[in-house]
Amino acid sequence: MRRFTTLALAGALALCAGSLARADAPPAPTKEGLEFFEKNIRPVLVDKCYECHSQEKKKIKGKLRLDDYASMRKGGESGKPSVVPGKPDDSLLIFSLTYKDKDTGDHDALLMPPPKNGKPRKLPDAVIENFRKWIEMGAPYPQSGHSDATPKTGPNAHWAFVLPKEPAIPQVKQTSWLKNTIDSFVVAKLEAQNLHPSNPADKRTLIRRATFDLIGLPPTEQEAQAFEADNSPNAFEKVIDRLLASPRYGERWGRYWLDVAR
């Protein structure tokens, strides 16, 4: 009886701990939230914060890292979390960005970015409002749910230094749909969800999908008719090559690359 009671108590404690952990976990980031972070938050962190609060610095000021999500939430030597998802007023980062007078007792001279040569360097109110909105959104971050994107087993553990391994081709039942080895991976995922591939698209639908995806514009009537009239085996490949060589392709995707490069 005593053993049963002990096990029951341990199970209850584990359930409570699990519930608390789930309650403390940030919500899964949405596409809109991640886009807001990349456009409005990360560039400011890189330009104004990483010089003092990133892993690249030998001595991280205040022992606070702002280039890692878990570290950002944990906070630095102040002992207070820098970011509390959904609660900007409880987030020390907002407290610091507002540049409140330290003499008021509102905070312990946590001014970010710190003054230089006696002159304040407070960020514009619109930028601070973006940080507040970001935290209200749940502080979406690309690495949410991971303590860090880089393994801690050495400098060569980063994915860029790991030799890629060719995966085994999955065995599938719907072999009639396969045209190349990549299709095997697609069908394997579909079969795992008890789904079937859609019927093949007609040529006009196919060129519209490809053109919208690659250059963000619909095909012209002449382009659609030319593709429908082309019965060669590589007709679709020629469409893709033409779209990839188009300046419109660079215009559409250049913005995403610029967002990554900041």
pTM higher than 0.85: no
Q: Tell me the backbone φ, ψ of residue 22, rounded to 5 degrees.
A: -70, -35
Locate 107 and state its tokens. Answer: 């905070």
Phi and psi at residue 119, in whole multiples of 5°? -105, 130
Helices 221-229, 203-215: inter-axial angle, 10-degree rounding: 130
For residue 228, give the amino acid letter. Answer: E
In order along its 262 residues, the chain shows pLDDT tens digits of 344 334 344 444 444 444 444 445 556 778 888 888 888 888 888 887 877 787 776 677 777 888 778 878 887 777 778 888 888 888 888 888 887 644 444 444 577 777 777 776 778 888 889 989 989 988 888 864 433 444 445 556 677 777 777 888 888 888 888 888 899 999 999 988 889 888 889 999 999 999 999 999 999 999 999 999 999 999 999 999 999 999 999 999 888 888 877 7
For residues 128 and 111, what is the distance between their CA atoms, to the nearest angstrom?
13
Tokens standing for residue 122? 């407070």
